[in-house]
Structure 1
Amino acid sequence: MKTLKYLFIALLVVSVIPVQAKRKNPKKQQKEQLQLPAKADSISYAFGIDAGNGIKGAFQDIKDRSSLDLNPEIFIQAFKSVLLGDSTIFSKDDANLILNRFGAEMQRIAQEKQKIEAEKNLADGKAFLATKAAEAGIQKTASGLLYQVITEGTGEKPTLSDKVKVHYTGKLIDGKKFDSSYDRQQPLELPVGGVIAGWQEGLQLMPVGSKYIFYIPSELGYGERGAGKDIPANSALIFEVELLEIVR
């Protein structure tokens, strides 16, 4: 876990992080290197800023994930004791045990949160699709795929074994866009049999030259696993798809 990694390496960070002096305005700042009276002090201070920023981010991440507001003064006390070789309340092994237990707790909290979000996504998706299915111009297949014909082409329909070239935009049901070949200004070539089930079925309905909108239930999309950070678990999906050609 990145958060706990910062806590584990806090005592080592001063020996592994490179330091570079930065000048905000080269025209006004003529010095080649910013320095405190002693070079060692400047480097020590720069290490402190770098390590402090990392630890500050870790503290905020822990607060966001677990609502636990860590005490920076306690941290500084322990950090300083280790650097100066003074005695500490906990041994190194004790500290590792505490952090390992906390890491497991953080993981449990994250899993519980993901489960709640997944259940909500599933319910929201079903409600959205039920409402959408009642709208004029929306067609539904036996699998539960909903689609809307924007433009009906006159070309050949692809089969599961074909490769096609498409333009598309993908959104969540709240309208958040997570992918678009239009934005990249580059159509995508893909095998019909190598995409999610909703696309496999939908593409085979489309004559070349068509533009459809697919409304895909989560079980025909990425299901419980989701897809990275952009497509949460159990998300219903909306795709606007333009079938440009079958690639022979």
Structure 2
Amino acid sequence: MSYQKRIILGLFVGSIGLVSYCTVFAQTQLESLNDSASYAVGINFTLAQLKPAMDQAKAQGVEFDMELLVAAIHDIMVEDQMLLNQEQAQQILVRWQEGMMHKQQELTAAQLQENAKQAIAFFAENKGKPGVQSTASGMQYIVIEPGSGTSPGLNDTVVVKYKGRLLNGTLFDQTPPGETITFVPSGLIKGWQEALQMMKPGGKWKLFLPSNLAYGEQGSPPSIPPGAALIFELELVEVK
């Protein structure tokens, strides 16, 4: 029998065993403290390690076959036999990870191209709208409230309120309603550094930032895509 046929047969037999195993398990009651502790260990392992890893994979577009995953755990812990040895499993995972990295690189390149195209069109149209001003860096802004007093420096401490949106209007971050947040401008994205040094306490601006003044080509996954231009409503509450 060929290796491939053995694997297929093994998967078939394993799936039958898994169905049988799951059926028996579903009928099992927690009759003793040891039963409950055993189940609790499974809960802790799944919630602390397995589920977060699966959720992260799903967020990246990867759907694992949960029956085969559980079957592997069962084969190791109960049957003491595996369809693949550890070396084979490692080789498969390396190949799989390389494939996923290649797909992610292709996706990122496509996102960068599309986001750059959208940003060029947006900023070209936006600069002609009433109240929109531009700086040499490429930042565009609207002064909603001018504020008064002395503008902060890069190393001052500022108290702000803000909302951040993608060009399509999606809200990706904000200060909680009625609350503020404290920053030092030197640790912020370039667009905020530039704007805050121009603003005065009490001022409210709307910022339009190209990606090079925001999070660049890497973005800030999962909420900010690669090369995304951003829109902020920024209020400088106080300079400390």
Return the TM-score normalized by structure 1: 0.67
Query: Which of residues 127, 142, 158 in structure 1 aligns to 2:121?
Result: 127
Looking at secondary structure, tell me which structure has more helix per residue.
Answer: 2
Matched, 1:175 2:162: no
Q: CA separation in 1, counterparts of 2:92 and 2:179?
A: 51
Find out whether 1:194 has 2:187 as its counterpart. Answer: yes
Q: TM-score, normalized by length of structure 2? A: 0.69
Spell out, residue by residue over 1:89-128, the C-alpha distance to the aligned partner (whole angstroms, 9 max, x if none).
4322212222232222223222322232232222222222
1:109 alignment partner in structure 2: 103
Query: What runs of 5+ residues in structure 2 fail to find an aligned partner?
Result: 1-27
- The answer for the alignment partner of 1:94 in structure 2 is 88
Relative to 1, partners in 2 of residues 1:42 and 1:161: Cα closer, same or farther, differing over 3 Å?
closer
Q: How many residues align?
A: 212
Does the Cα contact within 8 Å between 1:167 and 1:187 map onto a contact in 2?
Answer: yes
- Show the 5 A alignment for 1:33-182: 35-36=29-30, 65=60, 70=65, 72=67, 79-85=73-79, 87-182=81-176
Q: Structure 1 pair 44/217, CA: closer, same or farther in 2 (3 Å)? A: same
| C-alpha distance in structure 2 between counterparts of 1:50 and 1:244, whole Å | 44
Q: Which residue of 2 aligns with 1:218?
A: 211
Q: Which deviations, in whole Å up to 9, do the C-alpha atoms of 1:217-239 show, x marking residues without a partner?
A: 11111111223422222111111
Provide, for residues 32-58 of structure 1, a one-character-per-residue CA deviation record: whole Å limited to 9, x for no partner: xx9456776666677778888987997
Find the aligned partners of 1:230 and 1:35 in 2 and give their Cα distance.
43
Deviation at 1:179?
2.4
Report if aligned partners of 2:157, 2:182 keep a CA contact under 8 Å in 1. Answer: no
Aligned to 1:227: 220
Q: Closer, same or farther in 2 for the Cα pair 1:205/1:98, shift >3 Å?
A: same
Aligned partners of 1:169 and 1:177 also within 8 Å: yes
What aligned pairs does 1:4-15 form with structure 2 within 5 A after superposition?
none
CA drift at 1:67: 6.7
Paired-residue identity, %? 36
Structure 1 gap segments, 5+ residues each? 1-33
Q: Which amino acid aligns with 1:215?
A: F
Contact 2:159 2:180 in 1 (8 A): no
